[in-house]
Structure 1
């Protein structure tokens, strides 16, 4: 079964077709797209069911997908908010200022900037090892995420999930976004086990609409419903290139966990046709949120890929093509107005 909320003039057919193909190629039971322009939903499309039984609940606007690494953007916001409120002095502060139980020698010269941009060079869970000196290379892993999550709890005095509920989800009326420990009929569950709902695990779920509105909050620089909920600088800081200037030119540029388009790069999740200053986040199961300030666009795609990648599949090509399709459809829509 499928619920489709889409324009009938064919404006977004190429995007829908691309998502149909991605769903089939990645063996997903479900897919969704939500696209905003100038703060309003201009396109919404849903396909499939919550599970692989063939008799599952149809996907719709209230369906909550597992965001996986997209959750890092919520953590990046929390760090930026902490800087804004003086709880953190600077993005260039040493990590050991805020976490005194770490190996000071190993963490020498490692800053919050390095953690936020995957340039910290750390690897490991309970104990860390060093892969490269901080700021000299780039490696995507969750060591920096885990440390920053601890820092957020230390400086705010509450877990990340509680902070987000009180400062963001509640004021915005987000009922379909949150860290989930237990199954419910709204969730596209991934058969994983979680210890809690504090925000220190990868169990953040959201609907396509609310993930799009999360992107819109960044695009509007903290304004929602005619109210300025946060200072614009919180979002400007989080979505600007923050990678160390000395980083080799071939490596990606990140904001506070966002991938940011300064120019097309070999290792980038952003389509080569997307304008500069576009930014995006992608999660393991295929969910992504893309923000294109030049077009006043936010686009979300949702998937629930549980198996491995098929032969010949390149995830960078996939997510770049998604962004390019969004941009092409948006330009087509402008021409048809």
Structure 2
């Protein structure tokens, strides 16, 4: 499916926002891709794939490391497994883990893993619990490892297998992949890191559990667009609508608590809070994921819009307020989108 292009200068403020953020971060390259009302309204590429003098320019097929935005694909695989009956969202995870005797697992369900309310943490190499499941929120790694292993155990397919079979192959994605870092290719960006981030490494794991996922701005936007259209691709319903609705609606066990709200790993906008990664102006029901490379995928159903920004910078430069930056990005996108809807 090819979306028509209807480029407009109404998103110029977003264009400026991304360029300024790239400069503050010290990124060598960045990209912006916006779809609204079933048309590509903005597509911009800035800089080069690394700071090397002979580096390749950032272009349409350039693939950026998306870090935690990969959770959009893991969340999809989890929703797929739930929809097809391999697991239930409220299944205790003790049913699926080999070390089920550990007290830290008690009371923890699939829902808690998907909404970051699971309480699990690794301290001195040991799995511990910090609070009763569902009573608070914390963004921690054990949930992702557990989810990917549970999905593999119950479906017989890895996250990477599921999304490739269900989406990538049917729609013809060519620039979305978990890449073996021992086999890089010219289209991927060099992820710029500070020396105090050298602990972070990529692996050759390509089953969807590893962090080394690279995607072009266009295909990340089209992934968001598939969610916006609730599984419809052109005239075909390629994914059951219920899978997308499950993934992108609030699944947090106690939605009245003043904490982040999540679907299947997506951050979902509910009420305004200062800790939200989605700006105050962005309407309720919007959903987003933000990666530590400052990559963001934002979907605003009310405006029939998907916005993607890409940077090749791991972490933040000194003094960079990433929370304020991502909130203002969303608010700027929404403000500009309202201009188009009034024309």
Is 1:293 matched up with 2:297?
no
Preserved CA contact (<8 Å) 2:179 2:204:
no
CA drift of 1:156 comes to 1.6
**Secondary structure, aligned partner of 1:32:** strand
Distance 2:17 2:160 in 1: 34
Match for 2:264 among 256, 260, 264? 256
The residue matched to 2:105 in structure 1 has which SS? coil
Q: For the Cα contact (< 8 Å) 1:65–1:187, is it kept in 2?
A: yes
Distance in 2 (alpha carbons) for counterparts of 1:240 and 1:106: 27
> 1:272-301: CA deviations, max 9, x gaps?
101110000000001110000001000000
Q: Is the 8 A contact 2:294 2:314 kept in 1?
A: no
**Which residue is 1:173 aligned to?**
172
Tell me what 2:61 maps to.
62
Q: Post-superposition shift, 1:54? A: 3.4
SS across alignment from 1:106: helix
- 1:239 corresponds, among 229, 248, 266, to 248
Partner of 1:109: 107
Q: CA offset at residue 220 of structure 1?
A: 0.6
Quick check: 1:122–1:144 contact (8 Å CA) kept in 2?
yes
Are residues 308 and 275 of structure 1, via their aligned partners in 2, closer, same or farther at CA, if it must alter by over 3 Å?
closer
When structure 1 is superposed on structure 2, of 78-87 and 100-109 the one drifting more is: 100-109
Does 1:207 pair with 2:231? no
2:148 matched residue in structure 1: 149
Deviation at 1:190, TM superposition (A): 2.8
- Provide, for residues 147-170 of structure 1, a one-character-per-residue CA deviation record: whole Å limited to 9, x for no partner: 000011111212211222112111
1:29–1:49 contact (8 Å) kept in structure 2: yes
Find the counterpart in structure 2 of residue 322 from structure 1: 329
Cα separation, 2, equivalents of 1:259 and 1:187 = 27
C-alpha contact (below 8 Å) 1:122/1:143 kept by paired residues: yes
1:195 aligns with 2:193: no
Residue 198 of structure 1: CA displacement? Answer: 1.4
Q: Normalization by structure 2: what TM-score?
A: 0.91
Q: Give the conservation status (yes or no) of the 8 Å contact 2:255–2:261.
A: no
Alpha carbons of structure 1 residues 304 and 6: separation in structure 2 relative to 1, 3 Å: farther
Other-structure match for 1:76 = 75
Q: Determine the C-alpha separation between the residues in 1 that align with 2:332 and 2:190.
A: 28
Give the deviation of 1:221 after TM superposition: 0.6
| 1:110–1:134 contact (8 Å) kept in structure 2 | yes
Equivalent-residue separation in structure 2 for 1:157 and 1:69 (angstroms): 24
In the alignment, which residue of structure 2 is the partner of 1:279? Answer: 287
The 1-side partners of 2:246 and 2:217 are apart by 25
Unaligned runs of 5+ in 1: none
Q: Does residue 334 of the first structure (1) align with residue 341 of the second (2)?
A: yes
Query: Which residue is equivalent to 2:235?
Result: 226
Say whether 1:122 aligns with 2:94.
no
Structure 2 CA distance for partners of 1:280 and 1:158, relative to 1, 3 Å: same
Aligned-pair CA distance for 1:307: 5.5
Q: Does 1:48 align with 2:57?
A: no
**Relative to structure 1, is the Cα distance of residues 307 and 143 closer, same or farther in structure 2, using a 3 angstrom cutoff?**
closer
Structure 2 stretches lacking a partner, 5+ long: 193-200
Tell me how far apart the structure 2 counterparts of residues 296 and 307 of structure 1 sit (CA, whole Å).
30
Quote how far apart the aligned CAs of 1:266 are: 2.0
Question: Aligned ranges for residues 297-308 of structure 1 at < 5 Å?
Answer: 297-306=305-314, 308=316
* SS class of match (2:9): coil
